[in-house]
Structure 1
Amino acid sequence: MLAWKKSLVYLPAGSENDWTTTIHIAASEGDVNMIYKLLNHRLDCWDMLDSNSQNALHVSVLNNQDEVVRFLLDSDKCDSLVDEPDSDGNTPLHLLSASGNHVPELINHPRAKKMSFNKENQTPLDIAL
């Protein structure tokens, strides 16, 4: 379908107040192959946000999809996803800390700001404690 109509990558799915995109769905399901195909058709879709202002890295962390996290972090193009806050001010590192999961590639990423504050005035280190 993407070969036929590449703009399908950008279509939101869901309701008016709670929607997502194809890359978010693939990230939540851990489908690295689909993410790879989406990025091959539309390289700029990696930075799309859902209705919670979350990118694919947020979603993959929330769904414990470590393989997707590593795949996204492996790409230079996705570096900016690391320190992007969602609508609650949480970066992917905040969400990783809250999950109790450990993905060293995200924890040690040079752009991962361990002292960034969310809207509850918490850093990822505060959440981990």
Structure 2
Amino acid sequence: MQTVDASSAVPKPISTANAPAAGGHYSQGVIHAGQVYVSGQLPIEPNGTHRPDADFDKQARLAIRNMLAVVQAAGSSIENLVKVTVYLVGVENWPRFNSIYAELLGDARPARSVVPVPELHYGYLVEIDAVAAIGD
């Protein structure tokens, strides 16, 4: 795990092998002013393996786990999630996503937006980003 001074005025990029590497000119996450901003996480295996043909449940679980891996690498936790944004292909997947999300987040109830979209990169069905506080 990377140790970063959360009070620093300069944004600090986060990188963890527990989530897929950034696929473009961005960081997995950035710490600034006591928060971590997690870039959109697709359901890509941490080793970079793509499985866009996986069923929705597997995709949702993996995208959430990737998001949480970046949060944890920044020194935060599921309990410190402040805001989550979810992009879903197919509004019919919303109830299933909500069930999986509730299961994996447990008692944590950050603010959340769910945005139905026509398509996502690589043909995936879900992408998730987040903001979490660092510290108590």
**TM-score range normalised by the length of the shorter chain:** 0.3 to 0.5
Q: Is the strand fraction higher in 1 or 2? A: 2
Q: Is the helix fraction higher in 1 or 2? A: 1
* Larger RCO (CA under 8 A, 6+ residues apart): 2
> TM-score normalised to the size of structure 2?
0.31
